[in-house]
Structure 1
Amino acid sequence: MTTSSDIQTWEVKEPYLKLHCKLGEGPYYERATNTLRFVDIISKRLHTVDLAKGPDSLVTLQLDTPISVTADIAGVDPRDKILIGAKFGIAVLDRKKAAGGSKDAYEYVSKFHKMKDNFRLRGNDGAVDPHGRFWLGTMTDFELGPFQSEGSVHMFTGRQDSVVLKEGMTIPNSVSWSPDGQTMYVTHSSAGVIHAYDYAASSQTPIARERVFYKHDGSGAPHGHRVDVEGNLWTAVYGESHVLKVSGKTGIVIGEVKLPTQNITCVEFVGTELFITTAGMEEGAGSETEVDYSGGLFRVDVGVEGVPPHEFKLDL
């Protein structure tokens, strides 16, 4: 790491895991097992690596639905079952059944309200809020493009139908909360904006007072993000080979992690280390090294811990 009077800078030279994911996403630290799990949305895969054993411990599950994000379920051993964001909503994945190739390895908990079995859309990124509810965005599915402003952000409470909180989005992305739980952040990648909201426990009006927290100025787009314990937001930037650290107080960039490939998708904290997922690049879309390292998983110590993820309350 280097530091100037204005910005902290870190540089990562090579991937921790050289995987060539088509669309690596959704990194999640599974504390119970000291493993990191992440997905390849396009390839419909869930990857898990034991951080104590290293890259050779990688385990991959192949599913028949695109998984965009995962979360732990309160009171459930994550080695057995986890929550996944799937094509039509949220589902419980039985990892042992999936490992055995079972066709019924996952079961939907709830589907997107008023959009059940809408094949034009799929679930994208999301997260569990401080009250155990799951927030998940929808967007045009890859095979049915071009992308349109038909996406929205849904909130799932247990097994109830989802509540639509924001509509008219093209690529809704990460959702997160400030350390004090008073502010919620939502990335709208296609608009180049991260919005902030006042957040509350209410089931009717959980968010209010939308404002622009961060507006990206560049050729790429803000993608997945996480918040650290100091209240700063770390956002991957798709198309620009870096992760930006944005001040939670001012919305100004105060740090940068430089990476050797272009399509940076999301981040996750493991202690003070930041794990970073990326998407694949077509041959000729960049330098030989950029293409070779694309779709890999990267790691770097940034000296601060992240806000721990919340568990989904399945049976409220």
Structure 2
Amino acid sequence: MAVEQSFQEWTVDEPYLNLHCKLGEGPYYEEAINSLRFVDIIQKRIHTVSLTEGPESVHTIQLDTPVTVTADVDGIDPQHKILIGAKYGLALLDRETEKYEYITKFAVVDGKENDRLRSNDGAADVHGRFWMGCMTDFGYGDVQPEGGIYLFDGKQLSKAEKIVSDLSIPNTISFSPDDSILYYTHSSARTIHAYDYSPSDGSVSNHRLFYRHEGPGEPDGHRIDKDGNMWHAVYGENRVIKISPEGKLVGQINLPTKNITCCEFVGTALYITTANDDSGEGRSKELGGALFRVDVGTTGLKPYKFKLAA
């Protein structure tokens, strides 16, 4: 029987780091070297900051493509190469040369490259396959329901699958602590959906609504903690919300800027990315695009690595 949680609340007033990202996203903890990397999708950058050395240690890689998400690759030193979501699909980035090379594109599913679309958020599953969304790229007018969620298997990259169609802004893919549930967010619809997920064969079934957001903002990126709670950034509402495994709102983190995009656990600390707030004023505008940190007293799940066939 589930124990009902009392509502928890935290308030963060100052940023850990303020790089004035246009669209900060995709924070990923590099445990081996105690660093955090995150992207700026609009400015086509990957930032890495040593949490040992502090905010002054930031290193930035400038790319020529929107970079939307990163992940480690099984058997490859992440200080050498990592997986990135680039405009047309998945690519390997050499962090030393700062060059990338596509390993698969959305076109392997849909038959042709579509300049209107770019990748968005994603994650690897327990089998090492990568689930990634795509959506209308910048410069093509209003976002249309032309995106979806794709599944890439590193052993059969030419046989990728389109799992969910007709989405406008698909966002973070995550898994419950026992890998029995797969979650994804449809930001523009203000909904979070769930599938039953089979850890044995990786199949999904029983697609359903998990949470519907009531409010002016849109749920953006999220992470799952060790107890199955979802910590979900809300774009446009100055907060990260905590949702129980039963889909109930049980807490929130209040922030001084409006456009909150994603979060990542580092021990019991939650690092939170944001986007600019050019239409705002005061501190919300000043701190839009900053990285924040708050101790929330629990830990998150470690991400899986993408498995690429030798």
Out of 150, 160, 163, the position equivalent to 1:165 is: 163
CA deviation profile, 1:81-102 (whole Å, cap 9, x unmatched): 000011001000000011xxxx
2:277 corresponds to which residue?
281
Q: TM-score, normalised by structure 2?
A: 0.95
Deviation per CA, 1:142-187, whole angstroms, max 9, x where unpaired? Answer: 1112110000000000051321000000000000000000000000
- Structure 2 contact 179–199 (Cα < 8 Å) conserved: no
Specify which of 232, 254, 258 is matched with residue 258 of structure 1.
254
Q: In structure 1, what is the equivalent of residue 35 of structure 2?
A: 35
After superposition, residues 302-313 of structure 1 pair within 5 angstroms as 302-313=296-307
> What is the DSSP-based 3-state SS (H/G/I as helix, E as strand, rest coil) of the residue aligned with 2:97?
helix
User: Alpha-carbon deviations, 1:80-135, whole Å to 9, x = none?
Assistant: 0000011001000000011xxxxxx1111111121542100000000111110100
Match of residue 214, structure 2, among 212, 217, 235: 217
**1:52 aligned residue:** 52
User: Deviation at 1:200?
Assistant: 1.8
Larger displacement relative to structure 2 (106-115 or 68-77):
106-115
Classify the secondary structure of the residue corresponding to 2:39: strand
Equivalent residues in 2 for 1:155-234, closer than 5 Å: 155-158=151-154, 160-161=157-158, 162-201=160-199, 206-234=203-231
Task: Report what 1:101 is aligned to.
Answer: none
Does 285-294 or 167-176 show the bigger shift? 285-294
Task: Please name the residue that 1:68 is paired with.
Answer: 68
Q: In the alignment, is residue 269 of structure 1 matched against residue 265 of structure 2?
A: yes
Letter aligned with residue 114 of structure 1: D
What is the CA–CA distance in structure 1 between the aligned matches of 2:43 and 2:136, rounded to whole Å? 17
Q: Which runs of 5+ in 2 are unaligned?
A: none
Q: Say whether 1:314 aligns with 2:300.
A: no
The one-letter code of the counterpart of 2:148 is: S
Q: State the alpha-carbon separation in 1 of the partners of residues 197 and 263 from structure 2.
A: 23
Q: How many residues align?
A: 302
Once the two structures are superposed, the pairs formed by residues 42-191 of structure 1 within 5 Å of their partners are: 42-98=42-98, 105-112=99-106, 113-114=109-110, 116-158=112-154, 160-161=157-158, 162-191=160-189
Unaligned runs of 5+ in 1: 99-104
RMSD across aligned positions (CA): 1.3
Q: Show CA shifts across 1:233-267 (max 9, x none).
A: 0000000000000001x201101000000000000
Distance 1:131 1:267 in 2: 24
CA distance in 2, matches of 1:150, 1:202: 31
Secondary structure in 2 matching 1:307: coil
Specify the alignment match of 1:102 in structure 2: none
Aligned residues with identical type, % of pairs: 56
Specify the SS of the correspondent of 2:214.
coil
Maintained 8 Å contact 1:81/1:93: yes
1:212 is paired with a residue of what secondary structure? Answer: strand
- Tell me if structure 2 keeps the 8 A contact 1:72–1:78: yes
What is the rounded CA distance, in whole Å, between the counterparts of 1:115 and 1:138 in structure 2? 15
Displaced runs of 4 or more, over 2 A: none
Query: Residues 180 and 199 of structure 2 are in contact (CA less than 8 Å); yes or no, is this contact kept in structure 1?
Result: no
DSSP 3-state at the match of 1:180: coil
SS of the aligned residue for 1:75 comes to: coil
* Cα-to-partner distance string for 1:17-48 (whole Å, 9 max, x where unaligned): 01110000000001121110000000000000
Q: Do the aligned partners of 1:88 and 1:116 also contact (CA within 8 Å) in 2?
A: no
